[in-house]
Amino acid sequence: MALTHPLASYGRSAASRGHTRGWSPRTEEVLRRAGWRPGRSVPTGAWESILRERGSFVAHDAARRFLSEFGGLVTYGWPGDSITTASAIRFDPLKSEWQDERFARASREAGAVLYPVGTADEGAGFLGITEDGALHLMRDPVELLGATTDLALDRLVEAQGARSALWTPGVPTFERPFWRRLHSVETGPDAGPRWSEETDRVLRAGGWFPGRSVPTETWESILLQTGEFEIHDAARRFLSEFGAVGVSYREPWDSMPWTEFSLDPLLAFWDAEIIDDLAEQAGVDLYPIGMRDRGNQHLAMAEDGSVYAGMDSVWLLAPTPDEALRKLTSRIRPTASY
């Protein structure tokens, strides 16, 4: 993994830009490198809709304000090194999918309802925010990071840049919900006419269900701001039905029957040049729809619904969205157990 952040050439200091927030100039520099700007505002509808599906989470105003300003950002600290990269703070609330019981316990411990806003410490800790805007780190025990957003972000950035008790490298993360759900989901009538029973089961375990429709404005807005990606109808229809569906990675790698993939378009947050290069090679306009193989291949869709994969070079994965899903859920290890 490269330890240099994509905005390594970013210029002026926070002080020279007129620092006005309640956080430190260092925190502002880290956030700006992650893509934050004063006045940043993105829709939160996709996150809210998916978290209602996957845990009955109900967003409050403080969570909406926080995610509107910081949602989708990943802070690697500065300068990038093995400590700050491993402890990246990810303001991605969907990392908390199907963790409603864990959040209910943490909320009782905190004495206030916590809504997911991201993860820290390689995903070992969740970030939750209360209705009054207090940010908490959900480890054992739950810890108040700050009574205000600015103070909490200051503490997170400070902890990220040093060997702090907040970060505990090597702490095992929980079993991904996909693998628990895979044993309990049942196939439906789409198995057969649309795709195989195994594809149906894998997609359902990953969060899909018949008739699913989530708003896509969150992804559209963020990618338009950061990469000038303009979505087309085929990608919008696909992400409305399959956005945030995927197969989680697990150890050991040879226990994976399928290649890991995530239909999360924000994985292309900083990769506009890569997607443009793949589109030029393919000879079609491409819109990012996710990645597979632990970030080694982008997935992108053309206006006709065909799906391409690649990183340095590009190839046609499938001519239709359903065929692409069949290929993504095809076994790579026929004997692997799940």
Strand partners, 287: 301
Structure tokens belonging to residue 133: 């805007």
Query: Which residue, of 160, 190, 207, is where some domain finishes?
Result: 160
| Residue 187 shares a structural domain with residue 143 | no
| Radius of gyration, alpha carbons of the chain | 20
Task: Note the pLDDT of residue 69.
Answer: 98
177: amino acid identity, one letter: P
| Residue 239 shares a structural domain with residue 275 | yes
| Residue 271 shares a structural domain with residue 324 | yes
Q: How many domains does the chain have?
A: 2
* Three-state DSSP state, 279: helix
In a domain, 168, yes or no: no
Task: Note the pLDDT of residue 285.
Answer: 96
* Three-state DSSP state, 79: coil
| Residue 82 shares a structural domain with residue 208 | no
Query: Which residue, of 104, 126, 160, is where some domain finishes?
Result: 160
| Residue 74 shares a structural domain with residue 217 | no
| Residue 78 shares a structural domain with residue 132 | yes
Cβ contacts of 318-327, under 8 Å, gap ≥ 24: 321/234, 321/238, 321/242, 322/194, 322/195, 324/299, 325/195, 325/199, 325/203, 325/242, 326/195, 326/196, 326/199
Q: What is the CATH number of the domain that holds 192?
A: 3.40.1580
**Is 18 a residue whose pLDDT tops 60?**
no
User: For residues 123 and 171, is the Cβ–Cβ distance under 8 A?
Assistant: no
33: amino acid identity, one letter: R
Residue appearing with tokens 């309990």:
184
Query: Which residue, of 102, 131, 160, is where some domain finishes?
Result: 160
| Residue 139 shares a structural domain with residue 220 | no
**Is 78 a residue whose pLDDT tops 70?**
no
| Residue 226 shares a structural domain with residue 188 | yes
| Residue 106 shares a structural domain with residue 183 | no
Q: How far, in Å, CA of 338 to CA of 334, rounded?
A: 11
| Residue 90 shares a structural domain with residue 203 | no
| Residue 226 shares a structural domain with residue 324 | yes
In a domain, 213, yes or no: yes
In a domain, 338, yes or no: no
- Average pLDDT (16-39) is 86
* pLDDT tens digits for range 91-132: 999 999 999 999 999 999 999 999 999 998 777 789 999 999
Q: How far, in Å, CA of 242 to CA of 283, rounded?
A: 25
| Residue 193 shares a structural domain with residue 250 | yes
In a domain, 9, yes or no: no
Q: How far, in Å, CA of 88 to CA of 321, rounded?
A: 32
In a domain, 4, yes or no: no
Q: Which residue has the higher pLDDT, 201 or 81?
A: 201
Highest mean pLDDT among 10-14, 248-252, 259-263: 259-263
Name the least confident of 62-71, 123-132, 286-295: 123-132
Domain that holds residue 217: 177-328
**Which contiguous run of DSSP H or E holds residue 278?**
helix 272-282
In a domain, 320, yes or no: yes
Q: How far, in Å, CA of 42 to CA of 229, rounded?
A: 15
In a domain, 171, yes or no: no
In a domain, 167, yes or no: no
* pLDDT tens digits for range 162-178: 755 566 655 555 668 89
